[in-house]
Chains A and B, each alone.
Chain A
């Protein structure tokens, strides 16, 4: 198998990398580009810790081949803050203790942002169903839902 060159945009910056044909986008982001924010919790698309956006669509980067990212715009947790200015979701997760160990947090933030980009005023049930693909074993989700709703309210009033 010979390596493939891929040209993409990651968090707004043009990036080229090479990868193996069987390499996942997650492995390329973490191993080739050093973007270790996205985590591998399962490798089978069940836990959502590897969530990123590809052309605005929320995907499990462990289920997508890196080579498929050719020409795509990829968004990861590293691109949510603007410099040192946190996104309202990030600040809200800190304010509401929406994380304990924090390993699911990057995926949940990417997923929650994708929700609020589409639906700025979700019900609790909509948040819970949208995040049903993101496993968290520490919090029992209660404070995560509160954090997302608080950020949503703040973003609506901004």
Chain B
């Protein structure tokens, strides 16, 4: 699917900063999020969680809990089936433990009661008998052959014989002769890195409201990045048909990947089934930290060779990722992304996934990529310092470009890396001299971007307005972008278009809001649905004018005769065509369904100035600039917002955020006080520069922009800190104690 071949399209509305349709609801408190919905007679659902990192569940006695006045239902793992599909089965076991509790916070039972007080009392009255087992929470320790075994028999065929039982996955990517490449290098640096697991940290805890009638029909309201995914998983776990479960996505209070799976929804449905009443479950923040979403924790080795002139001759990396107690293949994405920014003759990455007694990993903004690229960009920076080379010059010299065979296989089409690097080089930020005590860090970032299954309906209303129905929860302004694309294509003003997000019964399947796919794929489907409606409108007009359909063309919101030979007719506007649609064949609507590819990869470059207090180890970010290729920025405010938000999440990852486990395998910092995400006073302005190198795979050239922004900050900040204290940092986060320790160790 090529970029539309009408040369450089002059957009009339794309690229303007229009008001978002959900804006007023969100500044007045009217918008309804997951926890904001109620139903008459609803019960309060609560979940009991394992206090142990690893324990066999010998027996659960719920009789006392069931006897408490107001308690209407109690469920345990015995109430849920395990689907045949391995991924669904893992979700089912994660939602409610069966034979073993696999991490601190793993759900073991749940109750529904008429009040929060009764539910709380019921949780206390459930007696669970555990046999505590040895546990392991560190990725390197878990890889050892004698480590406690988290789950037996989960290794995929890709894992060679002789590896420890916790090793579940192995992958390799790359090309060329590594040995020859390293032989050509003037300088080789080889280092090992570790990154802590971090949480997406969305401000809205998971919440849902479920009803299930005696006839099996069920309704679910929940905050999710994908209502169709919720339907598929819940139907699978509960053994009901998809058509019987209608899922409606609430407004969503942040997700960043963490709401691309389910935790509480099947539990609420089961409690509703057992009690015969609506059940609402809202997680506490403690539960969110303990039982949902962290990223993988990682341990990574990187080796890079470079000539004196700065050309990389070979790059190699071994990545060990752990996504907690269940198998995953996130390391594939890290191993593919690690060297994606570079045009290399010889490159190889090897990835391993290892089980630990930690919560099941959920996707977090460019999952797997920030850690791998942090390690690679740190070594590149060390080589630049050692060879006295400018870090942006080196990246420009080695940058992947159109025609580069990427480190993970495909050959790149039009990509924006070089333009982005050159923009950074020319920017006043890079050319402002540093003051004493200040340092500057640079890093590239990359993300693949997804397309995926998408379905859009576009209705031409009889008053000349337009309704777009799409199926992807709007996580940061996408309804505005979708409306803009519909308005642009149809040639009607933006405020004539209203975009809504359908429930699962109202529109065909849509993949979750992930992979930075929505503006790309839903946008593409909206443009195509608009073209479908235009074709129908032209057909109606052709009938009225008595000419061929091909002789009618659409321009500026109206049908026109295609040329002088088509006849002389005054144009008919969309409004005029819509007004008489009942006489010309009935209502007019456009549709488009696609499994979209051609998402177009995305690159970014970040510049970070900072200073480090050498007495306390505290880092202060002084200036920060994000450069990113958006393909075409449909709504620049929200593109900038993605770039800024990603950057700040990355800064938090670099400096503060980490899952801290005690020797007993319990999570020590399950709250926002101790798991410290960046606050307003931690940060300077985050400047942005949007580059627009059109994506050939989208009619308007759009690329996803949501994820790339979290990738570069880890190394940009680490490189700046390392330069500031003259010690190379190898571990994230660079919390004050860790930085202080590095300074003291260097002083000897």
Contacts and interface: CB of A to CB of B under 8 A. Distances in A.
Contact of B203 (A77, A95, A131, A136): A136
B45 interface: no
Nearest to B643: A140
A78 B29 contact: yes
Nearest to A78: B29
B24 interface: yes
A28 interface: no
Interface in B1-59: 17, 19-20, 22-24, 26-33, 35-36
Given A41-B204, A46-B671, A47-B203, A138 B645 contact: yes
Contact of A137 (B36, B203, B681): B203
A52 B345 CA distance: 60
Contacts of A128: 680-681, 683
Nearest to B639: A97
Contacts of B30: 37, 78
Interface range, A side: 35 or more
A152 to B, nearest CB: 15
A101 B253 contact: yes
Contacts of B251: 101-103
Given A44-B285, A86-B27, A135 B679 contact: yes
Contact of A97 (B17, B649, B683): B17
A128 B35 CA distance: 28
B512 interface: no
Nearest to A103: B253
A125 B683 CA distance: 10
Nearest to A100: B476
B645 A140 contact: yes
Contacts of A35: 29
Contact of A100 (B17, B638, B649, B681): B638
B475 A140 contact: no
Contacts of A80: 28
Nearest to B223: A103
Contacts of A144: 680
Contacts of B33: 36, 39, 103
Contacts of B205: 40-41
A144 to B, nearest CB: 7
Contact of B641 (A42, A49, A76, A138): A138
A102 B26 contact: yes
B648 interface: yes
Given A43-B285, A100-B641, A132 B679 contact: yes
9 contacts: A40-B35, A78-B28, A101-B252, A102-B253, A103-B251, A135-B672, A136-B203, A143-B640, A145-B680
10 interchain residue pairs of minimum CB distance: A37-B29, A103-B253, A140-B648, A102-B26, A97-B637, A46-B672, A100-B476, A140-B644, A77-B29, A36-B36
Interface of B: 17, 19-20, 22-24, 26-33, 35-36, 115-117, 200-205, 251-256, 282, 284-285, 475-477, 637-638, 640-641, 644-649, 671-673, 677-683, 685-686
Interface of A: 1, 20, 22, 27, 30, 35-44, 46-47, 49, 76-78, 80-81, 86, 90, 93-97, 99-106, 109, 125, 127-129, 131-145
Given A94-B20, A128-B680, A133-B679, 17 more contacts: A22-B117, A35-B29, A40-B282, A41-B203, A46-B671, A86-B27, A94-B23, A95-B19, A97-B638, A97-B640, A101-B202, A101-B251, A102-B22, A103-B253, A128-B681, A131-B681, A145-B680
